[in-house]
Structure 1
Amino acid sequence: MPKTIGSYSTSDLSRKSGDVIAEALRRPVTITQRNKPRLVLLNIEDYERLMKRSDRRTARTIETMPNELFAEFENAVEAYAGEDASGR
């Protein structure tokens, strides 16, 4: 992988941390290890903007579902089953 602007190796990060940080304050920087991208270093404003736009939903199982959500789910299933039975 050719080195591009905004891309540094882990060795560069060790030797030139000041330069890498200075660039990361201006734009995201890719950190490579063995010529493969491994990390991205970015300023806090970019990080916060990305986090605000991210989907914070999580996958759960019935066993780990909060009680309030489980009750809502159970009521919805019962209502659906009641509609299905009355529609036949």
Structure 2
Amino acid sequence: MPRSGGSYSTSELSRKSGDIIAEALRRPVTITQRNKPRLVLLNIEDYARLVRQSDSRSAGTIETMSDSLFADFESAVEAYAQEDETGRT
């Protein structure tokens, strides 16, 4: 039943979902569509580990910065500009 590498087509997933899910509980399984990888099935423990390890930083804008962070940012930019002006010849 299992192909090498734990990779199955979407049509195989439809026909053999129970077996494929059982394999995905042991190791990640790739689901392909038109011979291209499209999905990965993995057990919840592996998923939780990936989420914990993921980068939790988020992007923001000047409008969403706190006032104190904006003041620090503004001071750093001004200091850099002063440094640049004094360093020019």
1:13-57 per-position Cα deviation (integer Å, ceiling 9, x unaligned)? 111111111111110000011111111110111111112222233
TM-score of the two chains, using structure 1 as the length reference: 0.73
- What amino acid does structure 1 have at the position aligned with 2:26? R
**Bigger CA drift: 77-86 or 41-50?**
77-86
Aligned-residue identity in percent: 75
List gaps (5 residues or longer) in structure 1.
none
When the two structures are aligned, how many residues end up with a matched partner? 83
TM-score of the two chains, using structure 2 as the length reference: 0.72
User: In structure 2, what is the Cα distance between the partners aligned to 1:80 and 1:4?
Assistant: 57
Shift of 1:7: 0.9
Q: Please, what is the CA RMSD of the aligned residues?
A: 2.3
Show the counterpart of 2:65: 67
Shift of 1:73: 2.0
SS at match of 1:32: strand
